[in-house]
Amino acid sequence: MAEEHTDRDAGGGVATAEDSLSITDNRTGESYEVEITDGTVRALDLRDVKVSEDDFGLMTYDPGFTNTASCRSSICYIGGDDGVLEYRGHPIESLCENATYLEVAYLLINGELPTQSELDQWTHEVTHHTYVHENIKKFVEGFRYDAHPMGILLASVGALSTFYPEAKKIDDDYERHMAAVRLIAKMPTLAAFAYRHNLGLPYVYPDNDLSYAGNFLSMMFKMTEVSYEPDPRLERALDVLWILHADHEQNCSTNAVRGVGSSQVDPYSALAAGVAALYGPLHGGANEAVLRMLDRIERVENIPDFLEGVKNRDERLMGFGHRVYKNYDPRAGVIKKNVDEVLEVTGKSPKLDIATELEKRALDDDYFTERKLYPNVDFYSGLIYEALGLPTDMFTVMFAIPRTSGWIAQWLEMVDDEDQRIARPRQIYTGARERDWVALADR
Ligand code: CMC
C-alpha cells in the first residue's frame, strides 16, 4: 500500500500524492491510499483492506479479465475507441502498405524494423527451417481423413517440442531465437500438410526459391507441375492478410500463450495452447462462422429477416463487435480493399454482395450503432479464404500462421518480464464445506 509517493513510476516520472486512490472501507470505517501507476492500481494492494487481522483481504472479481491489465507490454497498441492498431508504434495501415509479413514478424519480435542485411539474414533463417522432421509427417498421416486441420495443427505444434527438447532452456538466447525461427518457418508447412491430409493429396515439401507466402501457396496448391509459380497478386494479398493478423495484444490466445508459458514450459508447448484458444468460435473461429452465416442468409432479400433474428437474440451477427474496438476495426478496413484484389484473380463471389449489404444495413441500424458494433477483421477475411479455394475448416489455420509471430513476441516479452509470476488466479468459492461422508448404500 502506498503511503507517500516519492518513488519513481514505471514511466520514469516521479509519482505524486495525486497519483493515488483513497478508499474508505464502510465495513470498518478504515481509509486506505492506493498508488495509481499508468492508470491502474495493483490488485494486490487491495489485500491490505481487511475487516479483521485474519481476514484474507479484498480481492477483485473480473471474469474474462475485462478490466484487468495482466502485463506491461510494448508490442501492440490498440486504441479501441478510435479504431487504431499499431505494432511497435507503426500504424497497421502503413505496415500493410509498405512491409512484408516477414519484416513485420521481425519488427514484433525485435522491436525495430530490420535493416536490409538483418532482413536478408532473417529471411534466410526462416526459409531454411521450413522443413519438418519426417516423423512429424507420419504423425500428421495418423489422423483420420476428416480430422479438423486445427486439431492437427494443435497436436503437431505441441509435438514439435519433443523434436527440440533443448527449447526448454528458456533463458538461453540462442534457443529462444531458434524456437522463434522454427515456429514461424514450420507453421505454414504444418498448415499445408493438414490441408493436403484432408484432401488425401501427397504433401508438398517447401520450396526455398519462393517467398514465404509463395511457398505456402505452393505447399497448398502444387499438383503435377515441376515448380509452382504463385500469382504475385495472391502472394501480396496473403502477406497483407498475415500482417493484419500478426498480433493483437492480450487476446484470448495470447493470454493462453502467456498463461501457459508462465509455468516456464518450452515455447512450442506454450504456443500449442495459443492454437487451442484460437480454435474457439468466439476467437479465431469467427471467420468460419461468418461464411456459414452468409450461406444461411442465402440472398440479399433475406437480410432484413436475419437482422430481426439478431435483434431478437435468436442469432448473432458474426464478424461484428469486438471486446476492445468500439469503432470500425482498422483491420476490417484494409481487408475490405484486399477482397476486391483477390476476387480480381479468383473471380467474383456472390457472398460479397450479401456481406456488403449486411454491413450497410447493420451500420444504419440503431441496435448495432448504440452497442458500438462494427465489422471486425473476420467479417471479410473468410471471403478471401473462400475465394482462394480453402474449405471453411482451414480458415482458423490461416489465422494461426501469422499469429505465431505475435505469440512468440509476447512469449519472449513475458519470459524477460521480472514482474511476471506463474499465472494463478483466485476464485470466489461458492460450493459446500465440511460435508459428512455418506456411505454409497445410503445415498
Ligand atoms: N451480434 C449481435 N449482438 C452482439 C454482437 C453480435 N456479434 N456482439 C455483441 N453484441 C451485443 C451483446 O448481445 C450485448 O448486448 P446487450 O448489452 O443488449 O446484452 C452487447 O452487444 C455487448 O456485447 P458483449 O457480449 O458484452 O461484448 P463482448 O466484448 O463480451 O464480446 C465478442 C465481444 C467479439 C465476443 C462479441 O462481439 C461477439 O460474439 N461477436 C461475434 C463473434 C466475432 O465476430 N468474433 C471475432 C472477434 S474479432 C477476432 C479477434 O480479434 O480475435
| pLDDT tens track for 212-256 | 999 999 999 999 999 999 999 999 999 999 999 999 999 999 999
Alpha carbon distance 250, 260 (integer Å): 14
User: What are all long-range contacts of 238-241, with beta carbons under 8 Å and residues at least 24 apart?
Assistant: 238/101, 238/213, 239/100, 239/101, 239/211, 239/212, 239/213, 240/96, 240/334, 240/338, 241/335, 241/338, 241/381, 241/384, 241/398, 241/402
Helices within 43-170 (DSSP H only)? 92-98, 101-110, 116-127, 134-141, 149-163
Of 237, 249, 404, 212, the closest CA to residue 336 belongs to 237
Of 316-325, 326-335, 407-416, highest mean pLDDT: 407-416
pLDDT-derived band at 13, boundaries 50, 70, 90: very low
| pLDDT tens track for 376-390 | 988 989 888 888 888
Alpha carbon distance 113, 102 (integer Å): 10
Alpha carbon distance 383, 337 (integer Å): 12
Which is more confident, 337 or 100?
100
Of 355, 321, 317, the closest CA to residue 80 belongs to 321
Which is more confident, 347 or 436?
436
Alpha carbon distance 338, 344 (integer Å): 10
Residue with cell 491502474: 40
Alpha carbon distance 101, 96 (integer Å): 9
Alpha carbon distance 19, 130 (integer Å): 50
| pLDDT tens track for 34-70 | 999 999 999 999 999 999 999 999 999 999 999 999 9
Which ligand 1 atom is at minimum distance from the Cα of 320? 7
Provide the pLDDT for residue 17.
64
Average pLDDT over residues 8-34: 76
* Residue 304, pLDDT above cutoff 80: yes
Q: What is the mean pLDDT of the chain?
A: 93
* Residue 347, pLDDT above cutoff 90: no
Q: Whose CA is nearest to atom 5 of ligand 1?
A: 321
Q: What is the dihedral of CA 409, 414, 416, 417, to 10 degrees?
A: 130
- Active-site residue, selected from the candidate residues 239, 247, 266, 378: 378
* Residue 111, pLDDT above cutoff 80: yes
Ligand 1: residues whose CB is within 6 Å? 248, 251, 282-283, 286, 310, 316-323, 371, 373, 376-378
Provide the pLDDT for residue 283.
85
- Say how many Å lie between the CA of residue 124 and the centre of ligand 1: 41
Q: Which of 290, 311, 320, 365 has most ligand 1 atoms within 8 Å of its beta carbon, as the pocket-test mutant?
A: 320
Provide the residue count of the chain: 443
For helices 350-363 and 378-387, the axis angle rounded to 10 degrees is: 170
* Residue 158, pLDDT above cutoff 60: yes
Q: Is 148 tagged catalytic? A: no
Average pLDDT over residues 284-303: 91
Q: Is 322 tagged catalytic? A: yes
Provide the pLDDT for residue 3.
33
Please state, in angstroms and as integers, the Cα–Cα distance from residue 266 to each residue in 107, 132, 172, 279, 431, following that order: 22, 18, 11, 21, 35
Provide the pLDDT for residue 286.
83
Provide the pLDDT for residue 275.
98
- Say how many Å lie between the CA of residue 371 and the centre of ligand 1: 9
Longest dimension (CA), the chain: 80
Provide the pLDDT for residue 16.
56
Which is more confident, 18 or 371?
371
- Active-site residue, selected from the candidate residues 19, 177, 283, 417: 283
Provide the pLDDT for residue 10.
37
Q: Which of 288, 307, 373 has most ligand 1 atoms within 8 Å of its beta carbon, as the pocket-test mutant?
A: 373
Residue with cell 475448416: 393
pLDDT-derived band at 324, boundaries 50, 70, 90: confident
